[in-house]
A = this chain, B = another copy of it.
Amino acid sequence: MIIPICLFAQPEQPVEEWTGKTILLIGGHPDDDHQSHATLAMLKDHGNEVYILTMTTGNVGTKDPRISRYQLAQIRRQEEVDALKEIGLREENYINLGYDDGRLEFADREEAVGKLVYYIRKLKPDVLFAFDPGYNYQVWQKSDHRAAGYLAADAVRAAEWRLLYEGQIIQDGLTAHVIPEFMFYGGNIPDKNTMVNITDYVEKRVAAGLKYVSQWSSGWRDYRGPNLADYPPEDREAMEKRIRNRIFVENGISYERFRYHKGPPDTMGHAPRD
């Protein structure tokens, strides 16, 4: 018996028409939000409030032998803030939980989930963008992404019950919150059911991507500061090419693709079951 894998409902209201919503994206590293940057730029433009929460500081991923964890965390924060500016978001809308890069799986899960629950209850998002923890089966992700995906899924569940992490409610005045809609990124292509037309926002995504100099230019091996002008001339072209190549294009239209889910958090990861 072979059955079609992709039988998802699309969002009733196209993403391109969303407005007035609060959006929260949870990622593992500064730049994990990049694959949704055009969509986020559009949503911001269309009157939605957008928050980016990154779990780790990204303080490990450099091949430049002179850069320390401390410096890299500073660099990656600045790059992230600069990138967000390109898509219309202010630094106030950026939250970083401060975990060490590459070690999120070793963190205490109960505490990490609690921190996400705190922001879900505080910001009360209508839509969550997160790494796809899986559809029917658990998606393969590298370590921090695997952790970020599952911690987000667990936090969504916990956030809705006032009897979990109730210290936040009793002591800090928050209230339980149910997130009704989800946009999962970073998953397998066949699991994606929603294509967002980002043609008008490609340039903003490219501009944002160009800020990640320490990751995607030769700054990865030889960091010369945040300014692309200080790097070899070919760097900019290579970086831009790399950024554009990651964008899916079909019939001349550019898309960011997601797995969309609407409904109880419990069912975010699977087709109907008995």
Contacts and interface: CB of A to CB of B under 8 A. Distances in A.
Interface of A: 1-6, 35, 57, 59-62, 65, 68-74, 77, 96-99, 102-103, 105-106, 108-111, 133-143, 153-154, 157-158, 161-168, 170-172, 185-190, 192, 246-248, 256-257, 265-266, 268-274
Given A2-B2, A2-B5, A140-B138, A189 B271 contact: yes
Given A4-B1, A171-B77, A139 B142 contact: no
A139 B68 CA distance: 36
A153 B97 CA distance: 24
A109 B161 CA distance: 24
A228 B167 CA distance: 26
Contacts of A163: 59-60, 62, 68-70, 72
B162 A153 contact: no
A270 to B, nearest CB: 5
Contacts of A188: 136-137, 270-271, 273
B105 A106 contact: no
Contact of A143 (B154, B192, B246, B273): B154
B102 A190 contact: no
Given A3-B190, A72-B163, A170-B70, A142 B269 contact: yes
A161 B110 contact: no
Contacts of A257: 274
Query: Of residues A97, A137, A153, which shows the largest number of chain B Cβ atoms within 10 Å of its Cβ?
Result: A137
Given A185-B274, A189-B271, 9 more contacts: A62-B163, A68-B69, A70-B166, A77-B171, A105-B154, A135-B140, A142-B153, A187-B273, A189-B272
Contacts of A269: 140-142
A59 B169 CA distance: 14
Nearest to A141: B269
A99 B61 contact: no
Nearest to A178: B63
A98 B254 CA distance: 47
A59 B97 CA distance: 23
